[in-house]
Amino acid sequence: MTKRLESFGLRRLGDLRQLPSAGLRRRIGNGPVDDLLRAWGDLPDPQKSFVFPESFAIDIELPSRVEHAEALVFAGQRLFAALAGWLHGRQLLVRRCSLQLTHDDGPPTLLALNFAEPAADEGRFVRLLREHLSRLHLTAPVEALRLQADELVAKPGASAHLFEQATAGEGTLACLERLRARLGEGAVQALGELADHRPECATRAHEVDFNFGRFSRSTVESREMAAATGNSNRSRPLWLLPIPQALAERAGSPQWHGPLKLLSRAERLESGWWDEGEGGAAGDVRRDYFVARNPLGQWAWVFRNADGWFLHGLFA
């Protein structure tokens, strides 16, 4: 088309625009003339509005093969920047995403990134990625990356602050997800309650289940558990000894760094007849528990049974 216009003696767009439209259409056709009119604004040119895709999946080919996992952070940051922009445009939060590492030889490596709560912060994505890559050993060089958002939730509406707020530190959930990425899936645990009156049997460790940002029991469940065990108004120490420590007794008073002063009335616990004699079980216990304090100001949880006095826990 350019050579044809030059054959007419035209060198500039201004020269082309001065020609009669009817004659120009006969020479070069309607299509090119309409394109020029749209470019000049003489014909309407409606455009379709850009619509963000319903799902997010993006690939990036690395300029060279990468043999060390930590060197993938820079390329991964570009992918997560695109993810953060897509989430902002769609008003969504991501709960779980996956990063696929394509090797030049061998099957791809899939890296799952699970967040403690739905998030859309690029910095948080990259910090979690660094933790995962620091533990990853590549079986073969990587030549491409693919990031895909696997689980999404709608972003709840919130009002912005009128004045600029101070930058908040890393929250509890973000810290927990980083610890889980750094130490392994089963390394981060929490204590759960069991309906058992015996203190050493009333809790158990379990893997943290974030459950969209709620990694502890609800208030209603905690109250129901407390009512079932009768511990709603009882004092319990933060530190429970794995094995009760026997205490000396002088003049009828237990001794722990000096004589202990009993500060509460006896709390009788009798339970466990159902597992009496089983290996490793606490068995049937009959104890009177007291809150006590020694001359150093340390608060302790002690009990007395048929064998004497024992220290079972310490208050913070």
Three-class secondary structure assignment of the chain: CHHHHHHCCCCCHHHHHCCCHHHHHHHHCHHHHHHHHHHHCCCCCCCCCCCCCCCCEEEEEEEEEECCHHHHHHHHHHHHHHHHHHHHHHCEEEEEEEEEEEECCCCCEEEEEEEEEEECCHHHHHHHHHHHHHHCCCCCCEEEEEEEEEEEEECCCCCCCCCCCCCCCCCHHHHHHHHHHHHCCCCCEEEEECCCCCHHHCEEEEECCCCCCCCCCCHHHHHHHHHHHCCCCCCCCCEEEEEEEEEEEECCEEECCCECEECCCCEEEEECHHHCCCCCCCCCEEEEEEEEECCCCCEEEEEEECCEEEEEEECC
Residue 60 or residue 191, greater confidence? 60
Q: What is the largest CA-CA distance in the chain?
A: 123
For residues 19 and 9, what is the distance between their CA atoms, to the nearest angstrom?
A: 12
In this prediction the pTM is 0.56
For residues 83 and 102, what is the distance between their CA atoms, to the nearest angstrom?
A: 19
* Residue 234 placed within a domain: no
The structure tokens listed for 127 are 């910090």
Tell me the CA distances in angstroms from 204 to 154, 183, 199, 271, one per residue in order. 34, 20, 11, 18
Work out the percent of the chain whose per-residue pLDDT is above 70: 88
- Per-residue pLDDT band for 9 (boundaries 50, 70, 90) equals confident
**Res 302 pLDDT > 90:** yes
Residues 208 and 255 in one domain: no
* Residue 166 placed within a domain: no
* Residue 50 placed within a domain: no
For residues 250 and 243, what is the distance between their CA atoms, to the nearest angstrom?
A: 22
What is the per-residue pLDDT for 234? 65
Residues 278 and 307 in one domain: yes
Tell me the CA distances in angstroms from 61 to 99, 143, 147, one per residue in order. 13, 6, 12
Kindly report which listed range (75-79, 276-280, 294-298, 304-308) carries the lowest average pLDDT score: 276-280
* Residue 133 placed within a domain: yes
Tell me the residue range of the domain where 219 lies.
189-229
Mean pLDDT of 143-166: 86
Residues 223 and 254 in one domain: no
Residues 66 and 140 in one domain: yes
Count CB-CB contacts under 10 A for residue 24: 19
Mean pLDDT of the chain: 83
Residues 116 and 200 in one domain: no
Tell me the CA distances in angstroms from 242 to 91, 293, 314, one per residue in order. 49, 20, 12
What is the per-residue pLDDT for 210? 62
Residues 304 and 246 in one domain: yes
* Residue 201 placed within a domain: yes
* Residue 48 placed within a domain: no
**Res 148 pLDDT > 90:** yes
Kindly report which listed range (113-122, 149-158, 160-169, 257-266) carries the lowest average pLDDT score: 160-169
Residues 64 and 144 in one domain: yes
- Per-residue pLDDT band for 77 (boundaries 50, 70, 90) equals very high
Looking from the CA of 128 toward its CB, the CA atoms found within 13 Å total: 30
Looking at residue 104, which CATH number applies to its domain? Answer: 3.30.1490.100
**Residue whose C-alpha is closest to residue 119's, from 159, 76, 155, 166:** 155
* Domain total in the chain: 4
* Residue 126 placed within a domain: yes
Amino acid making up residue 109? T
What is the per-residue pLDDT for 218? 43
Tokens 């709390």 correspond to what residue? 267
Residues 198 and 218 in one domain: yes
**Res 112 pLDDT > 70:** yes
Residues 80 and 146 in one domain: yes
Report the DSSP beta bridge partners of residue 103: 142
What is the per-residue pLDDT for 27? 79
- Per-residue pLDDT band for 230 (boundaries 50, 70, 90) equals low
Mean pLDDT of 103-114: 90
Work out the percent of the chain whose per-residue pLDDT is above 90: 43
For residues 213 and 173, what is the distance between their CA atoms, to the nearest angstrom?
A: 7
* Residue 167 placed within a domain: no
